[in-house]
Structure 1
Amino acid sequence: MLFAASAPPLLTELAIMLVAGTLIALVSARIGVVPIVGFLAAGAVIGPGGIGVISDIDLVNQSADIGVMLLLFTLGIEFSLERVRQLASLVLIGGASQVGLTTGIVTAIVVAFGVEWRTAVFTGLLVSLSSTAIVLKVLAARRATTSPTGNMSIALLIFQDLAIVAMVLAVPLLGGQTTGSANALFAFGKAAGIVIAVIVAARTLMPALLRYVSRFQSHEVFLLAILAICFGTAYVTSLLDVSISLGAFLAGLMVSESRVAARALGEVMPLQILFSATFFVSIGMLFDVGYLARNLPLVIGLAAGVVVIKLFATAAAGFLLRQPRAVVASGAVVLAQVGEFSFVLERAGEEAGLVPAGLANGTDAFIAVTVLLMALSPFGIRWGETLAARLETSSDDQPARRSPVTVGDSGDAAEHEPLQDHAVVNGFGPRARRIVSALELAHIPYTIVSIDPEAQRWGVSTGRRVLSGDVSRQFIADRAGLRDARIVLAVDSPPSAVEQFARIAREHNPEVKVLAWAADPADAADLERDGLVDHVVAERQAALDALIAHALGHFELPEPATEAVTHAVLHAEAEQSEEEDA
């Protein structure tokens, strides 16, 4: 044996998966392919259909189940009850028509080949879902999530990801495990009761609980609390014979109603990435290269059929939403694959005795088609962009009209509106508030990042942009727009925290200017010595003047305007001090 006999079985399997997944993902990134494709390829190589170095797939599947839970948990946090409500018309009309058409067409075709209708409906549901992970990853990399194509695609994906909950509940009915209308109504009634309980908890209990936890400003306590909510809710739903995936999604919705939702997402995202990678590797391990070689014409034919059906259904939904032809065409290509949640549904169907399309090797065919389309999807999305550009130049289509509520809109602008050439203020304190006042007077866009719950309350009460979280988390750094910022400021932090923040800012944006404040001139000299910080203000009496002048100077504000803004901020501060003294 190559591996130590004393190593726990799960450690051996995970070590192989992570090493293989990392190596192949690196190759994928080098050639410009999204890492998910690399994970799928890694699974195919090390799985039973490849060189077979993984012996216990059940252990891998247990880790993959955690990946699905965390994927749905983060999905629930990003949705939020308010966002679901705002997008109701766009999501329901477009999503329902796309999923309904796809399911109906596939069902009709499968039934025409003599397959029992329940199996045909199950097959249609599998095909109706697209890959949220791949689509969002590719759109985000191309900064197209808020483009017209991105808006339509994400709206349909939202419906699909919500629909998976109902689909998982419906699978036992299709498999005949729940007989009688009374039992069916009881199953859905139980699920509805759980959803209502979650909504009540999200509106009442959860915000107060997370505010209390965040008061300690401890990353460890906060992360453990978030994971306890996720796994605890999933466990409770499992006790009620409801999917743990639904429980995880509902837990995310509960967290989404708190002001610290973005921070929660940032804390959980590294774990989600890890276990989601395990999930995609486990999917690749199910891929049987031998089956593909023996049934290549069948797999290619089925894949082509899926693409044609989804192109038609998505295009029909796009026209129903009155989108321009270019947006309809590119959006249809974006969603022309089968998604990761289809594997969740397929597993539920397997437990209920349902086989895709009723084929003798239906599961193998489904896996082969899905993995093939997932691998080709990033290339298809790029081709769709080219097609859209040609249609825009060759037609009289006007730029796509944004819906009254755009995908990605939220009540918290700091979390969703992309900024460029702006200021990022790290931390919450008196100097940060004065800097923000100066930026506002000068009409300079900014984002405040802080884990202090007082910052959230202050932001809500004053209407300021405040992003709850730690900028060291990749997700929070992306939300804050560090990559596109012109200047970043750490003016209420100790020198050690300033140095860490400066290193993070430089990693994301080597050209960004870093401005800090230090009480001790010696500390200021230390921070500037290594070049991490461009300028440190250490003048005790004129510190605020200098901070404002340096901050506005990086935005090329004329000197008279800078002096006027500085005077206004200092005057307001003086008035506030007098009121407090009185």
Structure 2
Amino acid sequence: MDIYLLQNVAMILITAVIVLLIFNKLKLPTMIGLFITGIVIGHVINDTSMISTLSELGVVFLLFIIGLEFSIEKFSAIKHYALFGGILQVSLTTILVTLLGLGLGLVLNSAIFLGFLVAFSSTAIVMKIMQQKHLNHSVQGRVTLGILIFQDIAAIVVILITPLLGGQSIELHTFPELLIKLIGVAILIVIGAKWFIPLALKDAAKTKNRDLFMLLTLFICMGTTFATSLIGIGPELGAFLAGLLISNTEYSHQTLGYIQPFQDVFMSLFFISIGLMVNLHLFIYNIGIILALTTIILLIKFAATLLTGIVLKLPNKISISIAILLSQIGEFSFVLAREGMTYGLMTQRFFSIFLGVSILTMSVSPFLQKFTPQITKLLSKSSYFQEEGELKTLPEELTEAQPIKDHVILVGMGRVGKQMTKACNQFNVPILAVDMNPIVVEQQQNLGVPIIYGNASNENVLKQLRVTSAQCIVISASTYEGTLNTIDAARRLNPDIHIIVRTKYLKNIEEVIEAGADEVIPKEFETSILMFTRIMDYYNKDMDEIADAVNDLRSDNYDAFRSVSSEDVSAYLSNSFTEVELDSLRVYNDAHISDFPFEKNNLTVTSVIRDNSTIIYIDEKFQFLEDDIILFTGLRHDINKFFEDIEF
């Protein structure tokens, strides 16, 4: 590998780490730190083409994720705000900024282009703020999302018409060829969305091979982007279409979880690359102009969005909140700005000033959001806001939206998950479920169970399950490592959630509780309890007395059994109830039943616990496997003699 490349990468990473550590200590937004990292690196590294190339992948993944999160149902519920509100907000901002551009001496094409640049807000920043403030399902959150969706689609359209603003003419003789290509792509998209992609993802999911599923989703993203680029459609639109193809499948949430780390890394490089483009000398030299333009643009965007909220007849408090959320210039504007440079719509000097203004608007957004109550209070002193705020009511379509909360999350839809579903439904307890088996997910969805496909240890999947507003999470189907990861993720996202875990063995209880679980139910012990109750019932023992003994054993999270081996569990259970006792033995190597002196010592094998099942039909040819637990009954002196006989 090129040592020079390694040197540059190492320098970028260590600079970013140092800057972000400082910003984290100062509790400043990470994005500002990434911009500053780019500015610093720009003065140290001469060749920054590698960073710029990688940063373009950040935009591709961002568009892919936007496509993934695009839901026809969500869009339909807020279509009035997404379409009418989005058109009004983008149009008002574009017109006002265009007039500002003309006043600054720009030609009409460049002024219109500047209007487009400023009209778009930062999806990344706004969504992050809404997640931190838990605004995603609030009224302002839903309306803001609708406008952002429109902006994202409009940004793709602007990318396509930018060459026309730059003076590029449309060659009519190429139109039929382009039309054929577009029709071909549309047909492929329809076929892919309806048959190929769902089936391919389903087959990949069946294998439960994480690498295979992740590589397939990356191929869909990059393959679609490459295909659209071949016919002259920008990679941004291709990535959006790729996400759209997966968004309507049940695999979108898990795909988002796999892609999110790539997007985070490349978007970080994208913001660093923006800092690289900043000419520090020009920035300092024009600092007065930049600060003035930043203030004017913040006011223009605030006013345009506030007016949009008023036209939509939203309460003024909500309109002000939305206006503050959308007041910054977005990351798409950087992509458009570079396109504008290519087509001569921006000079180098104005490009540098625009970058400075954009970075400042993005940087102040988190701070402005914190002052939303104060700004609302200040504006409420106006007679208009005061009177209208009392008269306006919330639109009906928004008041009906009640996101699920105080629910139970079921991880795994096996036997326990299905029983929990029935029990919760019987007592009207809301649930959301998740499973990694696509066939199970499909079956349960057909039965009306609210279930998604995904790995619950993935934060994006847990967020889709509304973990932050859930009361309880029951983990009953996962690998042991996956269980620990799910506990960790759930506890980080919702520190107050009650976590109940079903695990195989008693030996895991301590570690699972230390990982953050509130209650642990070991299957190994519960099976022994079940066998114990059956045997005691066979001997006509009093069931109330048996129930008291079982409850005593279950108390204190099985403390009585944490320090003993599984071989001792059944001996505790049968104490003082009958002369015939129940005991257990763990098998450490594969063996035949004849290898153990059960018959010689007048003992009866009642069952074998193996993995997730209990085997009760044991004959003379039975073969034991490693880690089997054998349950057997007999008199105590015969059991003692048995253990003496098997000691080697």
**TM-score, with structure 1 as normaliser:** 0.82
**Aligned-pair CA distance for 1:152:** 2.4
2: CA distance between counterparts of 1:65 and 1:345? 12
Residue 361 (structure 2) aligns with: 373
Residue 12 (structure 1) aligns with: 7
Local SS of the residue matching 2:390? coil
Local SS of the residue matching 1:241? coil
2: CA distance between counterparts of 1:80 and 1:201? 17
Residue 540 (structure 1) aligns with: 527
The reply to whether residue 515 of structure 1 matches residue 500 of structure 2 is: yes
Local SS of the residue matching 2:526? coil
Instruction: Describe the superposition over 1:269-321 as per-residue Cα deviations: whole angstroms up to 9, x where unpaired.
Output: 11111111111111122222321211112112221221222122212211221
2: CA distance between counterparts of 1:406 and 1:7? 59
2: CA distance between counterparts of 1:280 and 1:406? 38
Local SS of the residue matching 1:540? helix
185 and 124 in structure 1: CA distance in 2 versus 1, 3 angstrom threshold: farther
**Aligned-pair CA distance for 1:543:** 6.6
Q: Which has the larger radius of gyration?
A: 2
2: CA distance between counterparts of 1:247 and 1:390? 45
Spell out the pairing of 1:143-222 with structure 2 (5 A cutoff). 143-179=134-170, 194=185, 197-222=188-213
2: CA distance between counterparts of 1:437 and 1:541? 25
402 and 441 in structure 1: CA distance in 2 versus 1, 3 angstrom threshold: farther
528 and 367 in structure 1: CA distance in 2 versus 1, 3 angstrom threshold: closer
Equivalent AA in structure 1 for residue 58 of structure 2 = G
2: CA distance between counterparts of 1:280 and 1:543? 59
The reply to whether residue 239 of structure 1 matches residue 226 of structure 2 is: no
428 and 81 in structure 1: CA distance in 2 versus 1, 3 angstrom threshold: same
Equivalent AA in structure 2 for residue 33 of structure 1 = L
The structure 2 residue matched to 1:448, chosen from 410, 433, 436, is 433
Equivalent AA in structure 1 for residue 289 of structure 2 = L
Instruction: Describe the superposition over 1:499-550 as per-residue Cα deviations: whole angstroms up to 9, x where unpaired.
Output: 443344444445544323345555557756887563214322767999xx9x
Local SS of the residue matching 1:215? helix
1: CA distance between counterparts of 2:132 and 2:164? 40
Local SS of the residue matching 2:170? coil
**Aligned-pair CA distance for 1:103:** 1.4
Instruction: Describe the superposition over 1:207-234 as per-residue Cα deviations: whole angstroms up to 9, x where unpaired.
Output: 2221122111111111000000000001
291 and 507 in structure 1: CA distance in 2 versus 1, 3 angstrom threshold: same
**Aligned-pair CA distance for 1:179:** 3.3
2: CA distance between counterparts of 1:128 and 1:196? 33
The structure 2 residue matched to 1:91, chosen from 74, 82, 87, is 82
188 and 138 in structure 1: CA distance in 2 versus 1, 3 angstrom threshold: farther
2: CA distance between counterparts of 1:328 and 1:526? 49
1: CA distance between counterparts of 2:511 and 2:292? 66
**TM-score, with structure 2 as normaliser:** 0.74
Equivalent AA in structure 2 for residue 540 of structure 1 = T
- Runs of 5+ in structure 1 lacking a partner? 1-5, 410-416, 554-582
Q: Number of matched residues? A: 530
**Aligned-pair CA distance for 1:9:** 4.1
1: CA distance between counterparts of 2:201 and 2:88? 38
2: CA distance between counterparts of 1:425 and 1:484? 14
The reply to whether residue 423 of structure 1 matches residue 418 of structure 2 is: no
Residue 436 (structure 1) aligns with: 421
Local SS of the residue matching 1:404? helix
- Runs of 5+ in structure 2 lacking a partner? 534-546, 556-648
The structure 2 residue matched to 1:269, chosen from 247, 260, 276, is 260
2: CA distance between counterparts of 1:375 and 1:529? 40
The structure 1 residue matched to 2:328, chosen from 322, 327, 337, is 337
Spell out the pairing of 1:213-362 with structure 2 (5 A cutoff). 213-355=204-346, 361-362=349-350
**Aligned-pair CA distance for 1:25:** 2.7
Equivalent AA in structure 2 for residue 226 of structure 1 = T
Equivalent AA in structure 1 for residue 361 of structure 2 = L
Q: Residue 327 of structure 1 contacts residue 388 of structure 1 at CA under 8 Å; is this kept in 2?
A: no
2: CA distance between counterparts of 1:530 and 1:114? 63
The reply to whether residue 479 of structure 1 matches residue 464 of structure 2 is: yes
527 and 117 in structure 1: CA distance in 2 versus 1, 3 angstrom threshold: closer
The reply to whether residue 382 of structure 1 matches residue 370 of structure 2 is: yes
Residue 29 (structure 1) aligns with: 24
Q: Please give the root-mean-square deviation of Cα atoms over the aligned residues, in Å.
A: 3.3
Equivalent AA in structure 2 for residue 70 of structure 1 = F
Instruction: Describe the superposition over 1:402-438 as per-residue Cα deviations: whole angstroms up to 9, x where unpaired.
Output: 562699x8xxxxxxx8554432222221111101221
The reply to whether residue 125 of structure 1 matches residue 116 of structure 2 is: yes
Local SS of the residue matching 1:443? coil
Q: Residue 409 of structure 2 contacts residue 470 of structure 2 at CA under 8 Å; is this kept in 1?
A: yes
